[in-house]
Amino acid sequence: MRRDDVKTDTPSSGSKTTAPGVRTDLRGRLHEVIFEADTPAGKAFDVVLLVAILASVLAVILESVNSIRIEHRQLLRQAEWAFTILFTLEYALRLATVRRPIRYAFSFYGLVDLLSIIPTYLSLLLPGTQSLLVIRALRLMRVFRVLKLARFVGEGEVIQAALRASMPKITVFLLAVCMVVLVVGAAMHLIEGDEAGFSDIPTSMYWAVVTMTTVGYGDITPQTTIGKSLAALVMITGYGIIAVPTGIVTAEFTRVRTRRTGTQSCPACGVDLKDPDARFCARCGAQLHA
């Protein structure tokens, strides 16, 4: 039997109880500091981490400005490597403090943590890829957990659930729009021809997309009366098309209920727990209560 599966004795009345899923060994304490935000040490760690993320993203943005890059190139590169080494150590600690590091590595936050350090090392082979470091901004989503804004996390879950439920309907709708674009593009190629710039069906389809989305670059315009009439019909249809996805997603919002969320994370895979009262992790199945 594994050590993690052994049940501990009920603490005596004079002993201090621990929160569900929190271990008292070094690995457990590190997990509590790195992944949780319920203790002063854990909150301080996350606040320092968020400040470092903001500073690193700001350094990447400043480096993209030619005048600043020329004057402070060496300083910005040193700062970039310092932040990358810091985040690499943090990523290694996250893998070391969870019981199932592979699970965490392939979770959303695990992949974001990994992608936030790869560009710097990749820049040694492919100069310029360090601009991709702005992906570190995605790590700022942890601010909702750090600042106890669990209600906002719950609202984010509602949006995610509504978009997921809307995907089949929106996919069918987009396929229908693509067919309309194909038909209209072919018709405009036949009506206008090369003289008006509709030299082929792909070019005419490009015009149909630009017109239907009401962007209207004006680089290609119909010249004949029939072409203009068809263009007017496509423009009017475009306004109706824009409203359809909004209605689909709005309808799904009414079917989704906000769920309670907490600031705890699974000690096995590191994923944030959506239900603070859950006994098992919904992702990896690990037991959460000691």
Percent of the chain whose predicted confidence (pLDDT) is above 90:
18
Q: Which of 2-6, 189-193, 236-240, 280-284 bottoms out in mean pLDDT, i.e. has the lowest?
A: 2-6
What's the mean per-residue pLDDT of the chain?
Answer: 77
pLDDT at 167: 87
CB 63 within 8 Å of CB 69: yes
pTM of structure: 0.54
Write the pLDDT tens digit of every residue in 120-151: 888 888 776 766 777 777 777 666 555 555 55
Encode 67-103: b = buried (16+ Cβ within 10 Å), e = exposed. eeeeebeeebbebbeebbeebbebbeebbebbbbbeb
Closest C-alpha among 235, 171, 244, 245 to residue 209: 235
Percent of the chain whose predicted confidence (pLDDT) is above 70:
73
pLDDT at 82: 92
Q: Higher confidence at residue 79 or residue 286? A: 79
Is the pLDDT at 183 greater than 90? The verdict is: yes
Is the pLDDT at 70 greater than 90? The verdict is: no
pLDDT at 271: 60
CB 177 within 8 Å of CB 209: no
